[in-house]
């Protein structure tokens, strides 16, 4: 099968029912326990080292009708919270043995509690990530939180989570993240050879398959993509920001490119690309995981890090990639993304970098308005 056919097959599954990949895997491996990881970041190595499979629980796409969850959450809550609850209420998460939420925002915090009350058969865990990144106790605190989680996952899997197993899992996920970084580097250097949708599909399947399978897919895909030699089109080069949790529909991504943008970098599926460098292998692996979260992870609207302003990171990213503009693509009602936008707007204007801000919902079906806005923005830059 060609790489194009492979991507198109996965794309179809992701558009119709993203969790089918993991659900089908579970049918073939009924004894393995699966843990749904709500965005943004989960220490997937802990789950894997306990003999279980971490699965990205990253919304339901735009083919699921929200019939029950609307009545449980206010109308001003983002789509992913409702679609995740809808998946649970319609018994589409029966293949999972546990779920894990984190302290990213109030809706996600509440969703964790709603899951605990409504699905007593699921192990619902909640990670309290540190809100103070500079305290002398922060790493010890996070190590303790990861050790607490370790005990819970040992109980669920019935397996001892050993130091050696955790090191092996870190090694494996380091390899997976390295390959994903390579994919992103290819698109940044020659976006005509790898579309954003292809890059997205190849990254997203890694949240739904065992890392070993994802690694072998990427090891086959990357050399094939490197052999491409497409001619660049007359498009503007942008950095996309704001989609770190709820994911935009694939059709919307296609529309952005068709409207005249090469996306050189983005923050899709950010938790699964959380570390721009490998996590250390020497020493205590729990401490290495905690240290990586505090000192090695990417900037994000859901990570409270006062050491460097997020807007500086965004401006640096624009400069490093050679982009000429920024596309803010924020989920509707996503407070972290929209709060960030207030900061980004000021910083981008000060740096003289043009930007366009669009809101999306994972359940959206009609993309004409977004596409027209992007086309107008692109024309204003190309014919300035």
Question: Is residue 105 involved in binding ligand SF4 (CB under 6 A)?
Answer: yes
Interface of this chain with ligand SF4, residues 269 to 308, rule: CB under 6 A: 302
For 183, the token pair is 């994919």
**Could you say which of 69, 221, 245, 263 contacts ligand SF4 (CB under 6 A)?**
245
Which DSSP string do the residues of 125-176 spell out, in sequence order? EEE---S-SSSTTHHHHHHHHHHHHHHHHHHHH-S---HHHHHHHHHHHHHH
Among 335, 359, 373, 375, binds ligand SF4 (CB under 6 A): 335
Does residue 36 touch ligand SF4 according to CB under 6 A?
A: no
Length of the chain equals 384
3-state secondary structure (DSSP) of residue 232? coil
DSSP 34-65: EEEE-SS---HHHHHHTT-EEEE----TTSS-
Give the residue with the Cβ less far from ligand SF4, 146 or 333.
333
**Residues whose CB is less than 8 angstroms from the CB of residue 355 and which lie 6 or more positions away in sequence, other chains included:** 325, 326, 327, 328, 344, 345, 348
Could you give the count of Cα atoms lying within 13 Å of 101 in the half-sphere of its Cβ? 22
Name which position in 331, 356, 357, 381 contacts ligand SF4 (CB under 6 A).
Answer: 331
Is position 334 an interface residue for ligand SF4 (rule: CB under 6 A)?
Answer: yes
Q: Which stretch binds ligand SF4 (CB under 6 A): 100-108, 175-183, 264-272, 284-292?
A: 100-108
Q: Does 107 bind ligand SF4 (CB under 6 A)?
A: yes
The nearer residue to ligand SF4, 49 or 302, going by C-beta atoms, is: 302
DSSP 8-state secondary structure symbol assigned to residue 383: T
Q: Least distance from C-beta 335 to ligand SF4, angstroms?
A: 5
In the complex, what is the shortest distance from the CB of residue 39 to ligand SF4, in angstroms, rounded to a whole number?
6
CB of 255 to ligand SF4, least distance (A): 20
Pairwise CA distance, residues 360 & 374, whole Å: 13
From the list 108, 225, 289, 318, which residue makes contact with ligand SF4 (rule: CB under 6 A)? 108
Q: What is the dihedral of CA 65, 68, 71, 75, to 10 degrees?
A: -20
Stretch touching ligand SF4 by CB under 6 A, among 10-18, 105-113, 291-299, 374-382:
105-113
Give least dist CB 293 to ligand SF4, A. Answer: 17
Number of residues that bind ligand SF4 (CB under 6 A): 15
Backbone angles phi, psi at 106, to 5 degrees: -65, -45
Q: Binding to ligand SF4 by residue 104, rule CB under 6 A?
A: yes
Which residues, 6+ apart, have CB-to-CB distance to 262 below 8 Å?
A: 191, 192, 232, 233, 235, 236, 237, 238
The DSSP symbol for 78 reads -
Site for ligand SF4 contains 114 (CB under 6 A) = no
At which residue do the structure tokens 């020493």 appear? 283
Nearer to ligand SF4, 108 or 250 (CB): 108
Within positions 71 to 90, which residues make up the interface with ligand SF4, using CB under 6 A?
A: 78, 80-81
The DSSP code for 299 is P
- The span of 42-50, 99-107, 209-217, 251-259 binding ligand SF4 (CB under 6 A) equals 99-107
Query: Between residues 58 and 165, which has the closer beta carbon with respect to ligand SF4?
Result: 58
Compare residues 69 and 104 and give the one whose CB is closer to ligand SF4.
Answer: 104
359: contact with ligand SF4 by CB under 6 A = no
Mask 153-192, x = binds ligand SF4 (CB under 6 A)?
Answer: ----------------------------------------
Dump the DSSP string for 175-193.
HHHHHHHHHHHHHHH-GGG
Footprint on this chain of ligand SF4 (rule: CB under 6 A): 78, 80-81, 104-105, 107-108, 245-246, 302, 331, 334-337
């Amino acid at each position: 099968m060609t790489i194009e056919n492979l991507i198109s097959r996965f794309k179809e599954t992701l558009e119709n029912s993203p969790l089918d990949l993991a659900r089908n895997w579970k049918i073939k491996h009924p004894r393995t326990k699966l843990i749904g990881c709500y965005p943004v970041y989960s220490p997937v190595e802990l789950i894997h080292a306990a003999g279980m499979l971490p699965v990205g629980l990253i919304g339901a796409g735009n083919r699921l009708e929200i019939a029950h969850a609307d009545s449980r959450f206010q109308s001003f809550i983002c789509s992913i919270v409702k679609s995740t609850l809808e998946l649970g209420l319609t018994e589409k998460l029966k293949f999972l043995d546990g779920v894990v939420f984190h302290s990213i925002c109030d809706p996600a915090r509440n969703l964790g509690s709603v899951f605990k009350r409504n699905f007593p058969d699921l192990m619902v865990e909640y990670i309290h990530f540190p809100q103070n990144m500079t305290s002398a106790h922060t790493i010890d605190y996070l190590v303790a939180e990861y050790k607490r989680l370790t005990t819970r996952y040992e109980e669920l899997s019935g397996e001892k989570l050993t130091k050696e197993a955790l090191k092996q899992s870190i090694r494996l996920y380091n390899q997976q993240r390295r390959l994903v970084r390579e994919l992103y580097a290819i698109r940044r250097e020659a976006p005509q050879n790898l579309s954003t949708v292809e890059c997205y599909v190849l990254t997203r399947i890694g949240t739904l398959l065992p890392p070993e399978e994802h690694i072998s897919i990427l090891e086959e895909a990357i050399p094939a993509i490197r052999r491409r030699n497409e001619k660049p089109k007359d498009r503007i080069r942008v950095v996309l920001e704001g989609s770190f949790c709820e994911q935009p529909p694939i059709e919307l991504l296609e529309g952005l490119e068709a409207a005249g943008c090469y996306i050189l970098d983005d923050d899709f599926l950010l938790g699964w690309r959380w570390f721009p460098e490998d996590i250390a292998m020497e020493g205590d692996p729990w401490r290495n995981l905690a240290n990586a979260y505090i000192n090695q992870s990417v900037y994000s609207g859901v990570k409270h890090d006062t050491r460097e302003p997020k807007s500086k990171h965004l401006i640096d990213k624009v400069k490093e990639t050679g982009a000429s503009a920024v596309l803010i693509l924020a989920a509707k009602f996503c407070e972290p993304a929209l709060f960030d936008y207030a900061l980004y707007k000021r910083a981008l204007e000060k740096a003289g970098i043009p930007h366009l801000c669009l809101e999306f919902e994972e359940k959206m079906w009609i993309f004409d308005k977004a596409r027209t806005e992007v086309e107008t923005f692109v024309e204003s830059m190309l014919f300035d």
